[in-house]
Amino acid sequence: MFKSIYISRGFFLGWGICTVLILLGYYYNWMLYVGQFGFILLLTLTVLDILILYGAHKHVSLLRNIPQRLDLGDTANITLVANNKSIQPLRITLYDSPPHEMQARDLWFHHLLMPQQEQVFNYDFIPHHRGTYEWGTTIIYIRSFLSLTQRKIEFSKHETSTAYPSIQQMKRFDFILFNQQNLELGIKKIRRLGHNNEFEQIKNYVQGDDIRTINWKATSRRSELMVNQYQAQRTQAVFSIIDKSRAMEHQFEGLTLLDHAINTTLVFSNIALRKGDKVGLFTFSDKLGSQLPAQKGGRQLQRILDVLHAQQTHFLESNFSLLTQRVMKKIPSRSLLMIYTNFETELAMRRALPMLRQLNKKFVVVIVFFENTTLQSIATREPSTERDIYLSTLAEDVINIKRRIAKELNRNGIQTVLTKPDQLSVNTLNKYLELKSKGLI
């Protein structure tokens, strides 16, 4: 019964005072009597305190609210609601058990709960990988106004929540792009160039129609002017191709490059579907991964989300030859291929270049790869020692390798996006909107 009762500091303080008084009683008799009376009073109040805590135990409740769906890399707010339904004030100290990935060993809250009072405690949790997270037991220590003892109450409610590619980012970019607030996140407003180029129908000529669209064969058959009517070509196929090799395992702000690419793919797929395009998905590493044919509609976005959630890094080199064979076989028409990868050396790029050139003859290929932000911070830091100068020079050389890779790809007619991981979604969308405005897709 008393396993959950603990002696508090107030009891030891009172015990110490009474002990001192009894010791001084050898010199002053009245102190001996005061000390003895203090011991009796202390023990009496301690028993009373225990009885109060056992009665209050039935009137303390706790509710923990966890989102059932977490967004990868985005902050989730966890709330703990403690309720004192008793008729006396209680001092509570609350300890929660968040997922071990949070590394929060000092997560606790302290508060004085008045009778019939409810108190809400909050803390933030950021999932850094896709999958399931588990919350364990929540413990509350309660003390009465006497504060001589405290009681431990365990709320053994184990809960789980699953982290998926970020829906928050997808909705944020969707709102900004389609509510004319593009400049807020750096999305450029790009005017569509050229003419409408998808045939719709033949109709009678009316004043104001472009005479260059006159259909002379139809005019001769009908003995009246007939013109071709065109509409803007809207439905194209766009594919996100994600490299899952070890080069995508580097981390930025707690997320791997693979996870950044996955979040951006969800954002990009949603925007492309809203723009009327068909969207598909490929993943690859040393071998082929998931494949999703290009389709339109809201269900396709859910399919893409489910496929992205299941992706894991393969710690081997990427096989662009195998990818090229599969893409050439499975995609029959001209499409946009957004390939998310990470070339760290010129040698790695040159090995993949023949396959990329082959793909670029049939498709519009965009290579999206990443700047090394850690090296950039080293290169721009003011050196103070010879070692700092050496590291700065070395970092600058590696940064220049990335730029030379981008130039080499451009010289071979391949579109590139060299971006920081935190600007990946913005730069990818800008490239997509640029290609669409030029009529290249």
Residue 342 pLDDT more than 60? yes
User: Phi-psi category of 131—alpha, beta or left, where left has phi over 0 and alpha has psi -120 to 50?
Assistant: left
Same domain, 310 and 430: yes
Whether 77 and 9 map to the same domain: the answer is yes
Q: Do the domain assignments include residue 19?
A: yes
pLDDT confidence of residue 3: 53
Most confident stretch, 78-87, 178-187, 211-220: 78-87
Q: Which residue has the tokens 């030891």?
A: 12
Residues 150 and 188 in one domain: no
**C-alpha to C-alpha distance for 278 and 200, rounded to whole angstroms:** 19
Sign of the torsion formed by the C-alpha atoms of 330, 334, 338 and 342 = positive
Q: Is 363 found in the same domain as 249?
A: yes
Confidence of residue 79 (pLDDT cuts 50, 70, 90): very high
Give the pLDDT of residue 329.
Answer: 92
What is the Cα–Cα distance from 167 to 263, expressed in whole angstroms? 8
Residue-wise pLDDT tens digits, 145-196:
888 888 888 887 888 999 999 988 888 887 777 665 555 555 555 555 444 5
Residue 1 has a pLDDT of: 43
Query: Do 198 and 215 form a contact (C-beta atoms < 8 A)?
Result: no
What is the pLDDT of the chain when averaged over all its residues? 84
Mean pLDDT computed over 55-69? 82
Average pLDDT on 102-112 reads 83
Q: Which of 316, 317, 290, 284 shows the shortest CA–CA distance to 304? A: 290
* Residues whose CB falls within 8 Å of the CB of residue 43, separated by 6 or more in sequence, listed in order: none
The CATH number assigned to the domain holding 256 equals 3.40.50.410
Cβ neighbors of 286 (< 8 A, separation 6 or more) are: 245, 314, 316, 317, 318, 319
Residue 144, in any domain of the structure: yes
More confident residue, 199 or 349: 349
Q: What would the two tokens of residue 320 be?
A: 């662009």
Q: For tokens 């009778």, name the residue.
A: 115
Residue range 264-293, pLDDT digits in tens = 999 999 999 988 899 999 999 999 999 999
For residue 207, the model assigns a pLDDT of: 78
User: Alpha-carbon distance 338 to 279, whole Å?
Assistant: 11
Identify whether residues 220 and 252 lie together within a single domain. Answer: no
pLDDT tens figures, 419-432: 999 899 999 999 99
> Which structural domain, as residue segments, surrounds residue 145?
1-163
36 and 7 co-located in one domain: yes
* pLDDT greater than 70 at residue 198: no
Taking each helix axis from N to C end, the angle separating 257-274 and 298-309, rounded to the nearest 10 degrees, works out to 170
pLDDT exceeds cutoff 60 at 197: no
Listed ranges 76-85, 102-111, 201-210, 213-222; the one with the highest mean pLDDT: 76-85
**pLDDT over 50 (residue 73):** yes
Residue partners of 223: CB distance under 8 A and separation at least 6: none
3-state SS string over the chain? CCCCEEECHHHHHHHHHHHHHHHHCCCCHHHHHHHHHHHHHHHHHHHHHHHHHHHHHHHEEEEEECCCEEECCCCEEEEEEEEECCCCCEEEEEECCCCHHHCCCCCEEEEEECCCEEEEEEEEECCCCCEEEEECCEEEEEECCCCCEEEEEEECCCEEEEEECCHHHHHHHHHHHHCCCHHHHCCCCCCCCCCCCEEEEEEECCCCCCHHHECHHHHHHHCCCEEEEEECCCCCEEEEEEECCHHHHCEECCEEHHHHHHHHHHHHHHHHHHCCCEEEEEEECCCEEEEEEEECCHHHHHHHHHHHHCCCCCCCCCCHHHHHHHHHHHCCCCCEEEEECCCCCHHHHHHHHHHHHHHHHHCEEEEEEECCHHHHHHHHCCCCCHHHHHHHHHHHHHHHHHHHHHHHHHHCCCEEEEECHHHHHHHHHHHHHHHHHCCCC
Phi then psi for residue 133, to 5 deg, are: -115, 145
* Residues sharing a CB contact under 8 Å with residue 194, sequence separation 6 or more, in sequence order: 438, 439
* Highest mean pLDDT, choosing among 6-10, 59-63, 362-366, 375-379: 362-366
Please give the pLDDT value at position 94: 92
The fraction of the chain above a pLDDT of 90, given in percent, is 38
In this structure, is residue 38 part of a structural domain?
yes
Q: Do residue 265 and residue 351 come from a single domain?
A: yes
Burial of residue 149 (CB within 10 Å: 0-12, 13-18, 19+) is: buried
> Are 104 and 227 contained in the same domain?
no
In a domain, 9, yes or no: yes
Say yes or no: 295 and 401 in one domain.
Answer: yes
Is 338 inside a domain boundary?
A: yes
Quote the radius of gyration of the chain (alpha carbons, Å): 34
Indicate the residue among 163, 183, 216 that finishes a domain: 163
More confident residue, 77 or 85: 77
Mean pLDDT of 327-351: 92
Domain end residue (candidates: 143, 163, 183): 163
Task: Tell me the torsion sign for CA atoms 289, 290, 292, 297.
Answer: negative
Q: What is the rounded CA–CA span in Å between residue 256 and residue 313?
A: 9
Residue 50 is part of a domain; what is its CATH number? Answer: 2.60.40.10
- Domain membership of residue 307 (yes or no) is yes
Residues 213, 120: one domain? no
Same domain membership, residue 45 and residue 64? yes
- Please give the pLDDT value at position 2: 46
Q: Which of 40, 45, 54, 48 is nearest to 11 (CA)?
A: 45
Q: What is the pLDDT of residue 57?
A: 59
User: What's the mean pLDDT in 200-210?
Assistant: 77
Residue 55 lies in a domain: yes
Domains in the chain, number: 3
Please say if the pLDDT value at position 89 is more than 70. Answer: yes
Could you tell me if residue 197 is inside a domain?
Answer: no
The stretch 342-351 carries a mean pLDDT of 91
Q: How high is the pLDDT of residue 193? A: 46
Are residues 140 and 29 part of one domain?
A: yes
How distant, in Å, are the alpha carbons of 63, 94, 100, 138 from that of 110? 16, 6, 22, 14
Residue type, 397: D
